[in-house]
Every structure is written in structure tokens, then in C-alpha cells.
């Protein structure tokens, strides 16, 4: 671990050295080359040409490395997660996303940037952030589909008064929908006073 840290420190110092010395070195040695050509001093001109070329290559390497290793922006993060959800299908409806910290580590960004990217996906209707629980993927047939929502709602309100309603996971499997759909229906029924949450479960109000 210390060796790796030492190597990173040396690399960072080298990059800073190239950043500050390469441009003036190119200018100075280009001038040396021009003077050598004017004075017809081939050795002087050759030295200037070679040194200028090396400095220029070092500067190009630094620029390419800076562009390659720059932190991903929130649009990049949003695009990557969007692709994982809609194209790669690595994240199915109802799936829970990794924590912001883990996504930041995996995609080489910061937690603030990842949080901003997640907000973009929330606005697009691809995910839902549930406070205290995490972030979940929404499906095309989730709560935006009246059919899925109505099925879950009817199943819950048919439970006898005072009895516990089926567990969230049970409803997800029964109607082949997402956790987000079931939780949204539960929140709606709770706000309407139809169900009430207790320490041992959720019940139909008596």
C-alpha cells in the first residue's frame, strides 16, 4: 500500500514537472534550432530540434493523460447508469442500485457528482430514491401503468379489516412488478387512512 502511494506521488510530481517545464522548453529549444539554422551550425540546430521534439512529446503525453483520467461528469455518470438500465439490462425493474459511494468509486467520480446524476435519472422516471432505504430502478410498467397499480391496490384493500396486508416482496412477486410500484400504492393508501404501519407489519385500519 505504501509502495503504491509512493509511486502515485512520484507520478504526480512528474506530471507537475512536465506541466510547468515542457512548454517553455519547447519554446527555448525551438529558438535554439532556428538560431542554429540561421548560423548554419548543424550541431546546434540538431540539439535544439531534438530537445524541442522531446519536450513537445512530453507535453502531448501530459495532455492526453489529463483528458483520459479526468473525473467523470454528472452527465457521463447519468449516461452510464441509463445505459445499464435501458440497454444492458444489468439493473432490472425493482433492483436496488449501489450506494452513491460505491458508484462513485466504480465510475471514478465524486459522491456529489453521482448524486447529481441520480437526480437526472429521477427526473427521467428511470429510478426512485426512497429516503432511508436506497435507490430503486423503475420499470416501464411500474406505477406509471394504471393497470399494475390498480392490481396491487385491489389486492391490498380486499384484506379484511384489522388484518395484515401481504408483505411488499410478496406483492412484487405476485404481480410481477417493482418494489417502487408497491411502495407507492402503500404510501397512497396510508395517506388516505386505509392502512396503518405497525412495528410488526402494515394493517388495514379497523
Q: Which CATH number does the domain housing residue 171 bear? A: 1.10.10.10
Asked whether the beta carbons of 19 and 10 are under 8 A apart, the reply is: no
Of 68, 90, 111, which closes a domain? 68
Query: Domain boundary at 50, 68, 86, which?
Result: 68
Decide which of 94, 109, 137 is a domain's last residue.
137
* 43 and 94 part of one domain: no
Structure confidence at residue 118 (pLDDT) = 92
Q: What is the DSSP string of 132-193?
A: TTEEEE--TTSTTSHHHHHHHHHHHHTSPTTSBPPPHHHHHHHHT--HHHHHHHHHHHHHTT
Contact 35, 65 (CB under 8 A): no
* Per-residue pLDDT at 39: 74
8 and 28, same domain (yes or no)? yes
pLDDT, residue 46, reads: 79
Among 98, 184, 104, 107, CA closest to 139: 184
- The reply to whether 131 and 163 lie within a common domain is no
Domain range for 11 is 2-68
Domain count, the chain: 3
Q: Given phi > 0 = left and psi -120 to 50 = alpha, else beta, which region is 176?
A: left
Nearest to 31 by CA among 48, 18, 53, 43: 48
Along the chain (206 residues), what's the average pLDDT of each consecutive run of 10 residues?
Answer: 42 57 69 73 75 72 57 81 80 84 87 90 80 77 60 89 89 77 83 88 88
The grid cell for 47 is 540539439
Reported pTM: 0.41
What pLDDT does residue 165 have? 93
Amino acid at each position: 500500500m505504501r509502495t503504491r502511494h509512493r509511486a502515485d506521488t512520484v507520478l504526480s510530481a512528474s506530471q507537475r514537472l512536465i506541466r510547468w517545464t515542457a512548454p517553455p522548453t519547447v519554446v527555448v529549444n525551438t529558438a535554439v534550432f532556428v538560431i542554429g539554422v540561421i548560423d548554419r551550425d548543424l550541431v546546434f540546430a540538431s540539439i535544439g530540434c531534438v530537445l524541442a521534439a522531446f519536450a513537445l512529446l512530453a507535453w502531448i503525453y501530459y495532455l492526453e493523460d489529463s483528458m483520459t483520467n479526468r473525473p467523470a461528469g454528472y452527465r457521463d455518470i447519468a449516461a452510464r447508469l441509463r445505459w445499464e438500465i435501458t440497454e444492458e439490462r444489468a439493473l432490472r425493474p425493482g433492483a436496488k442500485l449501489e450506494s452513491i459511494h460505491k458508484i462513485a468509486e466504480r465510475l471514478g467520480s465524486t459522491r456529489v457528482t453521482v448524486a447529481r446524476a441520480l437526480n437526472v435519472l429521477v427526473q427521467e422516471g428511470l429510478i426512485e430514491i426512497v429516503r432511508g432505504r436506497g435507490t430503486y430502478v423503475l420499470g416501464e410498467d411500474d406505477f406509471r401503468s394504471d393497470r399494475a397499480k390498480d392490481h396491487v391496490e385491489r389486492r391490498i384493500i380486499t384484506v379484511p379489516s384489522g388484518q395484515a396486508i401481504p408483505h411488499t416482496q410478496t406483492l412484487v412477486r405476485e404481480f410481477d412488478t417493482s418494489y417502487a410500484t408497491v411502495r407507492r400504492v402503500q404510501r397512497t393508501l396510508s395517506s388516505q387512512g386505509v392502512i396503518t404501519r405497525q412495528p410488526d407489519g402494515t394493517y388495514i385500519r379497523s
